[in-house]
Structure 1
């Protein structure tokens, strides 16, 4: 199988951004924009190597970013050129494997999805050049030098280009070779080179509205909101055999998803300790959590993973609910996760361990009659995103699992009978939760869907 390379262009000076540092190095949601972008390609199972092309003034900074994140696929960091085309040429020509597939991507498009990358790679089995674009929602006008409308093209033929752009290596290398001697044309992307020199047809893969390019300062506000709502799909590439002899602590272990996690982990040889109110451990009590973890550590002399699935779901208008009942729901659904983190840090530092907390699809928008539940699940996401960076220095990973409607006792108690085939199986949630614990992911919301 041919290798697939990602060339990430991060050499721009950010002139339109009007900031003292290039926009790719602005921090959003705890990381620089370029880190978010590299993360997507680093995690993609079909990308073999990543080549970074950077502004020479920031090469040392980029080296620090690579070391901090322990990127395994970054094989080269190259100084960029004086133009986008020159920087792209530098990245493309660094690839020596003659039949490689290469994706060229802007560092300031951090929301590119795994599916979009895979669609581009697959299209290269049929086409030599691939672009990514989305239909234009606006009418496009062409003006003349006097700012008068010259033409209004039919909107159905107009699309907005994105990246990555993908090529079979010989084609894009030839395009850049021809462009080196062409001083009459200004090129803004690599597909334009292929079209200019009639080297191949360019196939268009359907892009995504979320694949935002951060160009202007106001885009940072939009990006911050998108990162807040961002989730990723689970990967089935991680084998649960890695759980053998690992020590796992599960809070909320007596039923539902928690019990499924306990049973599945034990079947793969993990040493699992489950706690819930059925054995007198209340997640709302920091003392209870500390005592439980201390007992496990005393017995096992290590703790590798901690999961908190404990939660309650209460229905009712805020006005009608008793304050004690509201505070109890907050204590269990939110404060309990804080207790899990605070009590678990000292043990997980020793093992470079991982924490999994649980959110819900209602975190993206509050639901009437479930205002406390929805808001606590939104708080879990913010807690995970914020503490992920804090815990990185201790070698600890933390993520939030976001299952869709799941067949659990709590759901049946609150919603009654529902068609079984409309609900996610708790065993599937357990599988993804354990794979997340074993992964290198941190600060992510992991979607679990029936069709994933």
Structure 2
């Protein structure tokens, strides 16, 4: 059995909008609904928990009902940062999931996750205990010597770009968040489940990724999302 935790607790200051970016309407539909539809339509996803920005829970329930996202079983309130929101979801599921259940974590503002990517994350998790979406890194990375100079670069063949979806067995996920919070490991503003797991000494397993799986952070990202939607049509 697989349960998805969709993180929709952010504000999105860089988007410059009056409402949280996951609720912005694109082509007549909220961004969060595009994301939820990908999970609704995937045959290996059984149920969905959405961790929502405080004060927007009723709005989200209304959209879930309007668009018939029947796999959404729960909507709970998020925290002040991403890791707090994910932990809220993990702790909530203690009474709803077994230790061997596959938990898929995904950003609500990545609305273009496709079936192949989601399937491979689940497969890797069932094989190895976790799976993280990844892609090769195709740009050159240099290390700053001073603010304006460099003499050192990183071999891009040693790098992978990791994003969401990510999948973990629930028992390991619960253990990791309990330990991370108790010992203040991997819970900074820039941390996520994958970085926290590595900070705790865990080995991660790469799953397939897609360049279309963009994170909507700026107004320019919205235009790119609209272009992808037109391509699909």
- Which segments of structure 1 move beyond 6 Å, counting only runs of 4 or more? none
After TM superposition, list the pairs within 5 Å mapping 1:22-171 onto structure 2.
Answer: 22-95=20-93, 96-98=96-98, 99-143=100-144, 146=147, 148-149=149-150, 151-171=152-172
User: Which gives a bigger RCO, structure 1 or 2 (Cα 8 Å, sep 6+)?
Assistant: 2
- Distance in 2 separating the partners of 1:73 and 1:16: 31
Give yes or no for contact 2:137–2:156 (8 Å, CA) kept in 1: yes
SS across alignment from 1:56: coil
Residue 149 of structure 1 and its aligned partner are, at CA, apart by 3.5
Q: Which has the higher helix share?
A: 1
* Counterpart residue number, 1:323: none
Q: 1:24 to 1:155 in 2, by over 3 A?
A: same
After TM superposition, list the pairs within 5 Å mapping 1:303-382 onto structure 2.
Answer: 381=233
Q: 1:201 aligns with which of 200, 203, 208?
A: 203
Give yes or no for contact 1:130–1:191 (8 Å, CA) kept in 2: no
Give yes or no for contact 2:185–2:196 (8 Å, CA) kept in 1: no
* Counterpart residue number, 1:192: 195
Q: Which ranges of structure 2 fall in alignment gaps of 5 or more residues? A: none
Higher-Rg structure is: 1
After TM superposition, list the pairs within 5 Å mapping 1:396-411 onto structure 2.
Answer: none
Q: Which has the higher strand share?
A: 2
SS across alignment from 2:210: coil
Query: Does residue 218 in structure 1 map to residue 209 in structure 2?
Result: no
Q: 1:93 to 1:136 in 2, by over 3 A?
A: same
Residue 144 of structure 1 and its aligned partner are, at CA, apart by 6.1
Give yes or no for contact 1:171–1:194 (8 Å, CA) kept in 2: no
- Distance in 1 separating the partners of 2:68 and 2:209: 30
- Distance in 2 separating the partners of 1:101 and 1:213: 23
Map Cα deviations across residues 22-77 of structure 1 (whole Å, 9 max, x no partner). Answer: 11111112211100000000011100000000101211211111121122110100
Give yes or no for contact 1:127–1:201 (8 Å, CA) kept in 2: no
Q: Which ranges of structure 1 fall in alignment gaps of 5 or more residues? A: 231-380, 382-452
Give yes or no for contact 1:132–1:206 (8 Å, CA) kept in 2: yes
Measured on the aligned residues, the alpha-carbon RMSD in Å equals 1.7
Q: 1:183 to 1:124 in 2, by over 3 A?
A: closer
Give yes or no for contact 1:105–1:164 (8 Å, CA) kept in 2: yes
- Distance in 2 separating the partners of 1:43 and 1:52: 16
Map Cα deviations across residues 368-420 of structure 1 (whole Å, 9 max, x no partner). Answer: xxxxxxxxxxxxx5xxxxxxxxxxxxxxxxxxxxxxxxxxxxxxxxxxxxxxx
Q: How many correspondences in the alignment? A: 228
Q: 1:136 to 1:62 in 2, by over 3 A?
A: same
